[in-house]
Amino acid sequence: MTFTQWIQAHRRSILFLLVLLVAGGIVAAFKLPVTLFPNVDFPRVVVNIDAGDQPADLMVLQVTLPVEEAVRRVPAVLAVRSTTSRGSADVSVTLDWGTDMNLAAVQVNEAISQILPMLPAGTRLFTKRMDPTVFPIIAYSVTSEIRSPTELYDIAQYQLRPILSAVNGVARVQVQGGAREEYRVNVDPARLQAYGLTLTDVAGALNAENVISAVGRLEDHYKLYLAVSDTRFTTVDQIRQTVLTSGADGLV
């Protein structure tokens, strides 16, 4: 029997298989998820640490090393690596392949929560599993020859980020680089002592004035209006005019 004769003899079976393949392709086209990368459970957990303006050397001693020691006690940990800079640190925890990463992430969080009271006040930690979806698929660079890094950061954070976040299918938008606007307050120790104040008093007064909070709401003609108190510093003069203390002798 020749090949042509075999095909003619089994033409119904071959046609049935072709119909099954076409139907399977149509179902797969509409049912299978579409992703940029395959779903792979990488055995790695990353801890992002934010400690404000702590110097890098103090970050290593007071934050990074305690966190490293804590996560090393998690079962199946193979290696712990970290990078530290001023006010921030990243701790990468590598585990055995085949480890339940959901359980590992919970165990890392539990280990860190045990030492959290011993870390500097205001320290914030964020734990996330490493998988292909955490990496950006599109990146934009914002540059200018006339605008400062602070202005570029504000444009990216407050103008571009909301627009990109509203795009259908976008899960997360992050802004990296640039510089946030900040003011440096130089205090005269002698004058501070003469007024009977401390650096803690100065920091507390500035923090109390530099806030934004909701103060109430108003309903009118079936509309709800929210009232917000915004006393954040926007100029150097506002910082200079901050009242540190008041008493019988006047304002300081």
Does residue 15 lie within any of the structural domains?
no
Determine what percent of the chain is predicted with pLDDT higher than 90. Answer: 7
d(CA 59, CA 67): 11
Digit-coded pLDDT (tens) for 145-162: 898 888 888 888 888 988
Residues 157, 172 within the same domain: yes
Question: Across the chain, what does the average pLDDT equal?
Answer: 82
Residues 174, 214 within the same domain: no
Residues 76, 124 within the same domain: yes
Does residue 143 lie within any of the structural domains?
yes
Does residue 55 lie within any of the structural domains?
yes
Does residue 32 lie within any of the structural domains?
no
Residues 110, 79 within the same domain: yes
Residues 55, 91 within the same domain: yes
Residues 63, 121 within the same domain: yes
Digit-coded pLDDT (tens) for 65-124: 999 999 999 888 899 999 888 888 889 999 988 888 888 888 999 999 898 888 887 788
d(CA 246, CA 198): 15
Q: Provide the number of structural domains found in the chain.
A: 3
**What is the dihedral sign for C-alpha 59, 62, 63, 69?**
positive
Residues 53, 97 within the same domain: yes
Residues 116, 87 within the same domain: yes
Residues 52, 121 within the same domain: yes
Does residue 226 lie within any of the structural domains?
yes
Tell me which of 35 and 99 has the higher pLDDT: 99
Domain that holds residue 193: 189-246
CB count, 10 Å around CB of 191? Answer: 10
Tell me which of 155 and 232 has the higher pLDDT: 155
Residues 89, 118 within the same domain: yes
CB count, 10 Å around CB of 234? Answer: 11
